[in-house]
Amino acid sequence: MPQPIVVLDVGGTHLRWATWSRARGLGPVRRAATPSLANGDPGPAGRLRERLVAAMARVVPERSTAGVSFGAALNHRSGAVYASAPLWGACTTPFDLLGALSAARPDVRWHVVNDVTAALLHLADGLAGQDRRKVLLVTVSTGIACRILDRRSGAIPTDDHGLQGEIGHLPASVSIAGQRVDLRCDCGEMNHVSSFSSGPGIRRLAEAVQRRDPGRVAFEDSLVKALDAGDRTAGEILRAATLPVAEVVRTALCLDPELDLVAFTGGVTHALGAHYRRELLGHLTARGLYLTSTLSPGWIADRLMVCPAGQVDCLVGAGLAAETARAASGTASR
């Protein structure tokens, strides 16, 4: 029986790790704070990268196969990381993560994928037997990104630079109570999808509402309770936060009608659950697809799913990716 794979998931807030095998599933998950700007570490980016590689290398046993889910824009062909606003802010100097890990621990067989890719692989693995041609998974957390998998070929296509689905840095426009809101993204640019729709973006939206009208309460930590209570301000904040994401989804469905499932995961959607789906679907119902939404009113709703916590795990997806690479090479992908 193949040895279990050590799986790691690197996010802007936490580094998680465990062992995984298809036969035994996921073992106990351990976690530590990620060295990152999101956690208040001052940097510079080069120093944060060194500390992160050391932290990852430290938790992997000798002569292991390691599957890494990494929360950043990275080249899926080479393992080089281009950027991660939560980890390193505006720094876009490419970082050879795979090379750095291999240098730090040459006894380990490393395989690195983007965290959204890992999550999508786990989701698709659970759809066995279901008639879903293409699956789009969006993660809404400290950052925002998506991936599309063609289940017929098993391919997650990328461009010449190994990229796909970096929707968090598309331009976006948001208004609350008829007034335009301008917010800076963690990458340093103004008015991106992540500026408004990520976890930090929702908090900034709430703060913007409070600055405009100090009599209204800005809540991010208690947003779920406020939504449960039907609070009008909380509803406005979530409605504004979901608009840029809904516009991306509408465009994707228009351009690729073979998308049979559009799923959402990540800390924001796990916390907000039904509230998130309601506001998202509200946007897509109010302004749906030309003709399709008239001819088939439930067409979009039938494709929309907000995954509950636990249904999609980047750790399992990292294990699946490393397992595939190990089987293809006879050892492991480096």
The pLDDT tens digits of the residues spanning 180-201 come to 999 999 888 999 999 999 999 9
Whole-angstrom distance, CA of residue 133 vs CA of residue 142: 29
To the nearest 10 degrees (0 to 180), the angle between helices 232-255 and 267-286 is: 70
- Which pair of structure tokens corresponds to residue 198? 């990520």
pLDDT of residue 330: 64
Q: Which domains does the chain carry?
A: 5-119+312-329 (3.30.420.40), 127-306 (3.30.420.40)
Closest CA to 142 of 206, 194, 74, 210: 194
Torsion of CA 316, 199, 132, 303, to 10 degrees: 150
Instruction: Measure the CA–CA gap between 83 and 77, rounded to whole angstroms.
Output: 16
Pairing outcome for strands 174-176 and 5-10? unpaired
Closest CA to 152 of 116, 126, 124: 124
Say if pTM beats, i.e. exceeds, 0.85.
yes
Below-50 pLDDT ranges, the chain? 218, 220, 331-334
Region of 326 (left: φ > 0; alpha: ψ -120 to 50; beta: rest) is alpha
Question: Residue 129: what pLDDT?
Answer: 67
